[in-house]
Amino acid sequence: MLELIGKSVSKGIAIGKIAFYSNNNQNVPQYEIEDPEKELERYEKAMTLAKAHLQTLYDEACRRVSKKESAIFRTHIMILEDSKFVDMVRHCITVKKWNTEFAVHSTASQLAEIFRQLEDDYLRQRYSDILDAANTLLEIMRPKARAYRNSRTEPVIMAASELLPSETLRFKKEMLLGFVTNNGSKNSHTAILARMMELPAVTHITESLAEFDGRIAVLDGQKGKLLIDPDNNTLALYKAQKSRCQREQQNLKRQLGLPCVTKNGRPVRLSAVLSDLEDIAAAENNEAQGIGLFRSEYAFINRKQPPSEEEQLEVYKTVIKPFHNTFTTICTANLSAGKGIGYLDLPQENNPAMGYKGIRVSLSNTELLKTQLSAIYRASAYGKVRIVLPMVNSVDEVEYVKRLTKEVKAALRLKGIACDSTVPLGVLIETPAAAVIADDLAKATDFLMIDTNSLTQTTLAMDRENPKLEYFYEPYHKAVLRLIRDVCRVNKPVSICGELACDTYMTPLLLALGAEELAVVPSKLLAVKAVIRETDTDTDTKLLSKLSTR
């Protein structure tokens, strides 16, 4: 048995044969053409077919995952249509007289290398999108380059040097057991798709995977390992572990219908976090107590102009109606340069995660904010609504928004449009500055919400998507936990969202600190509920020792 060590990017266990996928588009032949005009015709025809293929992938991804994760294929269409990309390819064909395949390959490689050298991590990771979009073109022109045998009759562990999103979606889910690659990161599109499809995935395997094609293996997505030719004892252990995990999932279903209260009878509001409309059904099926956080930028991205008030109203109504008897908390659009908001003048930044974003953008575009507030207030006629403001660092920012809400409500009254004039207003605690002045922010608002992802990132001064910082990124850091504790001490309701809210190890501590609501992704609702029901907030304080006293 051979044990290969990598990094887990999606949990789970897979047992089966390895199928190695080789993308031969790296070996693109170069030759001189005699008729550039004829070659341009080939290019235009391939472009038309490639864009149609990407649209098909988008439609398929929407059925299998979510619109948010599927948007990558729309991005690929935009890359192929980009004037810089098109001009460079046409120059290679008409001036250098290169064949179309090599012109596309060379152009994509040059542009991808530019992105790979950028300091900003978000933009740097976009190099793979350029290569993936170009690969779609190359496969249209060179269909024999696909080395994967789609005729396999049994599910396999897919192995590759690196899998791009379009390649991942090409495989039928029922024929997949998991993914293992040499390259990639926890936040790559393929890793996200693997998690959405609930398949294990391991990356950063240093050994060549091609030589293991067809061999039996165990893919351990819990520990980030690949076991080649496991012995009988190892196979038995992993089969038992896989069965145990499946039983645990079935056991979680038993939480359905049970009240969300601690062992000592304290009720806890367990709500869902939504980034788009695709997870509403999952939130309902797992008995979310409302929507604890709806990230409304979903309605603002991948557009040529901002959404109208009527468009936003329809989105908010869609979220609110299934949970009309419980609160839906809508976060005003957390816009930034890294999210492709072309209709706003948002400059590129070296560190957009801590730059011009959130309430800072909203307060510089007050008409955009007032339109959103008007849509939210109108939507409040269809169910209970709360508004939360992102990236707030001062009471002045809150007071300015409160003045805008008065203007919005007055305008709706003049038009005779129904709304709830008492919609609660809160702030999202995302920075140490906001946490330190939480008592002042509490006096100006109706509730506070802690985004543990952003708070951890800003407290530790670490980009959580930077793979070089994975070892240093410590969500249980005492500084982060103390800030959460201090916010929970204010005399206002406190909700907690982010990865710590989904972390069942942290659930007893967050409840002991006084959190009244945990907002988690729909897939974690039942697991967190199970821990809540086993927690005694009067006596279970073993984790409080991590904070000490001062």
Which pLDDT tens digits describe the chain residue by residue (550 residues)? 899 999 988 888 999 999 988 765 557 888 999 999 999 999 999 999 989 888 887 777 776 665 656 777 888 898 999 899 999 999 999 999 999 999 999 999 999 888 777 654 555 667 778 888 888 888 888 755 444 444 567 899 999 887 776 667 667 778 889 999 988 766 566 676 677 677 899 998 999 898 999 999 999 998 999 999 999 999 999 999 988 888 887 888 889 999 999 999 999 999 999 987 867 888 998 999 999 999 998 888 877 789 999 999 999 999 999 999 999 999 999 987 766 677 887 777 766 667 778 899 999 999 999 999 999 999 999 999 999 999 999 999 999 999 999 999 999 999 999 999 999 999 999 999 999 999 999 999 999 999 999 999 899 988 766 667 766 778 789 999 999 999 999 999 999 999 899 999 999 999 999 999 999 988 899 999 999 999 987 765 555 665 655 4
Q: What is the pLDDT of residue 145?
A: 46
Residue 412, both tokens: 């709706």
Q: Which residues, in sequence order, are CB contacts of 386 under 8 Å at separation 6+?
A: 327, 328, 329, 330, 423, 424, 425, 426, 446, 447
Q: Which residues, in sequence order, are CB contacts of 440 under 8 Å at separation 6+?
A: 395
Q: What is the pLDDT of residue 175?
A: 86
Please provide the DSSP assignment of 256-283 as one string.
TTS--B-TTS-B-EEEEEESSSTTHHHH
Q: What is the pLDDT of residue 59?
A: 77
Residue length, the chain? 550
Q: CA-CA distance, 507 to 429, in Å (whole number)?
A: 19
Residue 355, both tokens: 């730059």
**In contact, 55 and 73? CB cutoff 8 Å:** yes
Residue 460, both tokens: 């530790």
| Phi, psi (rounded to 5 degrees) for 177 | -105, -30
- Listed as own residue / partner, the contacts of 363-366 with beta carbons closer than 8 Å and 24 or more positions apart are 363/397, 363/400, 363/401, 366/404
Q: For residue 70, how far is the Cα from the chain centroid?
A: 11
Query: Which residue is listed with tokens 């409840």?
Result: 511
User: Which residues participate in catalysis according to the annotation?
Assistant: 189, 497
Q: CA-CA distance, 322 to 336, in Å (whole number)?
A: 30
Q: CA-CA distance, 513 to 295, in Å (whole number)?
A: 25
CA dihedral 458, 204, 138, 215 (to 10 degrees): -150
| 348-to-82, 84, 340 alpha-carbon distances in Å | 18, 18, 10
HEC per residue, 55-124: HHHHHHHHHHCCHHHHHHHHHHHHHHHCHHHHHHHHHHHHCCCECHHHHHHHHHHHHHHHHHCCCCHHHH
Secondary structure class of 422 (helix, strand, coil): coil
Q: What is the pLDDT of residue 55?
A: 86
Q: CA-CA distance, 294 to 382, in Å (whole number)?
A: 16
Q: CA-CA distance, 386 to 455, in Å (whole number)?
A: 21
Backbone dihedral region for residue 426 (phi beyond 0: left; psi -120 to 50: alpha; all else: beta): beta
Please provide the DSSP assignment of 501-525 as one string.
HH-TTTHHHHHHHT-SEEEE-GGGH
Q: What is the pLDDT of residue 91?
A: 95
Q: CA-CA distance, 327 to 320, in Å (whole number)?
A: 8
Q: What is the pLDDT of residue 113?
A: 86
Q: For residue 375, how far is the Cα from the chain centroid?
A: 25
**In contact, 484 and 450? CB cutoff 8 Å:** yes
The 10 Å Cβ neighbour count of residue 231 is: 10
Q: What is the pLDDT of residue 518?
A: 97
Q: What is the pLDDT of residue 10?
A: 84
Count H helices, E strands: the chain? 21, 16
